[in-house]
Amino acid sequence: MPTISSWSCCGSEPGKPTGDGPPLAGIESAWEGSFDARGKWIAGRLLNGDQTHQGRHIRLAPGNFQIQRVRLYRYR
């Protein structure tokens, strides 16, 4: 699963999801992690509602590089 920073990574206008479905999206789950030498995802900690601001966004601290695997959901 690729890392996504916004909906615009999918070739649509920023803030607009691609494909059919409800117009809004939230963060269902977000994991910190890394990839091993073979490219396999190694999950770290699961971020909770405090870190994902109840599914609205994830704040990335300046200079603190990390990889996060994010699953999104749609809603109206």
Question: Residue 42: helix, strand or coil by DSSP?
Answer: strand
Residue 69: partners with Cβ closer than 8 Å, 6 or more residues away: 1, 3, 30, 31, 33, 41, 43
pTM of the full structure: 0.62
- On the 0-12 / 13-18 / 19+ scale of CB atoms within 10 A, 74 is middle
Per-residue pLDDT of the chain (76 residues; tens, 9 = 90+): 444 444 334 444 555 566 677 878 888 888 999 999 999 999 999 988 888 888 788 877 788 888 888 888 888 8
How high is the pLDDT of residue 7?
A: 39
Question: Which residue ranges make up each domain of the chain?
Answer: 7-75
How high is the pLDDT of residue 38?
A: 96
The percent of the chain in helix, strand and coil, each rounded to the nearest 5, is 10, 35, 55
How high is the pLDDT of residue 45?
A: 92
How high is the pLDDT of residue 9?
A: 41
